[in-house]
């Protein structure tokens, strides 16, 4: 296996391909499960339809879903001078817990990206918001720096409404920038998975957008089981890799929340485990490395549970998937906790060996992106053949595009 230094010197130019603009799906299909499904198994490619997914999954598979829900993260303010200021909320600051922050009824603060920041050096912005027939004033104050972002304090003049309700009424769904359009009414429902539950993402886990109640019925009939985790997807998922080699790219940090019952389910599962989407993959693989850490250090402080960018590649000790998740259960027991509440900055690049998943369901990803690096880590150079096949056979690309099922050959 290559060293961490060798892996970090991977050239991003190796993960480029020509993606014509007309191949990017600007809008979703009329029906979610009518998308195409490209299957890669035993080294061969086949073309199917997503509504038939259940027929092609290994027997007794466990599908892992990310149940995060996209928030209306884009707020449009207008100064008295007429200048337009866009505030894109990213991560809660005070309170730092997502659920607590959304339940605030007077004020809260968030790390935000600010558009037209040069026009907003100081002062308080005001946005009138109508909620169920009542008009309130949402105020925003630029109170500090946070790296390339700003800390913005929000306040509103009606304690009957939570910040979740205010954001729902005032904000717009943050559809991906490569769609080159403003969000529309269709995005309110179609840029959410049908199983989304936990508010916190500023981008959808798009591999799940194809699932419908009918697909879940077919999965159940085939004996396919499911489980849910939560990873709140950050705006960094769209951040292009600008460095020539991957070591020059700082991976974004995302928040993980998984319950004890989920960890127990993974621990007990002995058959193929299929992740729905790259966010589920990153969470599962991060949980494995968290398990490794507490396996070898039972007194690990909670703040050191998180996974930083290159940490997995520097770990010399190996344990099984079951041992890692059993270690997490023991960690929860020792600390009298019911859930893992942490974060990950893991970057998965060619040369990484997957410890948890046996397959994945995913969409087609942007050229020169960290998501394409993750796909290449699973497929090797076969990704080029697969993407070329998709381009030649009218597959739709990116968030609202078609789907893939990649299976390890053979499933072990």
pTM: 0.93
Alpha helices in 195-277 (DSSP H): 213-221, 260-268
Longest dimension (CA), the chain: 64
Alpha helices in 202-315 (DSSP H): 213-221, 260-268, 278-296
* Residue 9 confidence class, pLDDT cut points 50, 70, 90: confident
4-69+189-407 maps to which CATH number? 3.40.1780.10
pLDDT per residue as tens digits for the range 180-205 = 999 999 999 999 999 999 999 999 99
pLDDT per residue as tens digits for the range 53-94 = 999 999 999 999 999 999 999 999 999 899 999 999 999 999
The pLDDT assigned to 409 comes to 57
Q: What three-state secondary structure class fits 229?
A: strand
The class (CATH top level) of 73-171 is mainly beta
String of b and e for 287-318 (b: at least 16 CB within 10 Å)?
A: bbbbbbbbbeeeeeeeeebbbebbbbbeeeee
The pLDDT assigned to 410 comes to 44
- Percent of the chain at pLDDT above 90? 87
Sign of CA pseudo-dihedral 238, 368, 253, 320: positive
Concatenated DSSP letters of 154-170? EEES-TTS-HHHHHHHH
Residues in contact with 141: Cβ distance below 8 Å, sequence separation at least 6, in sequence order: 123, 124, 125, 152, 153, 155
DSSP state of 246: G
Give the residue, 6 or 303, on which the prediction is more confident.
303
Burial class (CB in 10 A: 0-12, 13-18, 19+), 197: exposed
List the domain boundaries for the chain. 4-69+189-407, 73-171
Q: What three-state secondary structure class fits 262?
A: helix
pLDDT of 370 above 90: yes
- For residue 357, CA distances in Å to 271, 273, 281, 362, 376 come to 10, 5, 7, 13, 15
Contact between 63 and 215 (Cβ < 8 Å): no
- For residue 384, what is the enclosing H or E element? helix 382-392
Residues in contact with 82: Cβ distance below 8 Å, sequence separation at least 6, in sequence order: none
Bond prior to 319 in cis (omega within 30° of 0): no
């Amino acid at each position: 296996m290559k060293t961490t230094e060798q892996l970090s010197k991977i050239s991003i130019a190796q993960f480029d391909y020509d993606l014509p603009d007309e191949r990017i799906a600007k809008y979703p299909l009329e029906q979610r499960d009518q998308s195409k499904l490209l299957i890669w198994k035993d080294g061969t490619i086949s073309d199917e339809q997503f509504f038939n997914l259940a027929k092609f999954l290994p027997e007794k598979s466990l599908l892992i879903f990310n149940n995060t829900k996209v928030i209306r993260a884009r707020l449009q303010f207008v100064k008295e001078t007429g200048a337009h200021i866009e505030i894109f909320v990213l991560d809660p600051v005070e309170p730092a817990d997502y659920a607590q922050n959304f339940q605030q009824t007077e004020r809260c603060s968030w790390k935000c990206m600010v558009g037209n920041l040069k026009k907003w050096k100081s002062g308080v912005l005001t946005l009138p918001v109508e909620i169920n027939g009542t008009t309130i004033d949402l105020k925003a104050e630029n109170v500090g720096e946070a790296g390339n972002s700003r800390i913005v304090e929000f306040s509103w003049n009606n304690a009957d409404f939570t910040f979740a309700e205010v954001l729902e009424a005032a904000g717009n769904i943050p559809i991906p920038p490569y769609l080159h359009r403003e969000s529309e009414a269709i995005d309110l429902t179609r840029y959410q998975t049908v199983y989304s539950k936990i508010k916190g993402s500023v981008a959808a886990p798009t591999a799940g957008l194809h699932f419908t109640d009918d697909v879940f019925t077919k999965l159940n009939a085939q004996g396919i089981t499911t489980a849910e985790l939560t990873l709140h997807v950050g705006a960094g998922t769209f951040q292009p890799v600008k460095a020539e080699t991957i070591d020059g790219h700082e991976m974004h940090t995302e928040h993980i929340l998984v319950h004890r019952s989920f960890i127990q389910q993974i621990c007990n599962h002995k058959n193929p485990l299929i992740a729905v989407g790259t966010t589920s993959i990153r969470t599962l693989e991060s949980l494995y490395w968290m398990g490794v850490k507490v396996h070898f250090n039972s007194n690990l402080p909670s703040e050191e549970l998180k996974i930083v960018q290159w940490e997995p590649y520097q770990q010399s000790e190996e344990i099984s998937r079951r041992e890692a998740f059993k270690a997490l259960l023991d960690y929860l027991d020792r600390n009298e906790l019911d859930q893992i509440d942490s974060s990950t900055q893991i970057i998965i690049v060619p040369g990484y060996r997957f410890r948890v998943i046996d397959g994945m369901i995913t969409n087609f990803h942007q050229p020169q992106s960290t998501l394409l690096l993750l796909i290449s880590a699973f497929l090797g150079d076969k990704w080029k053949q697969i993407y070329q096949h998709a381009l030649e056979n009218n597959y739709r690309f990116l968030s609202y595009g078609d789907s893939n099922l990649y299976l390890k050959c053979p499933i072990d």
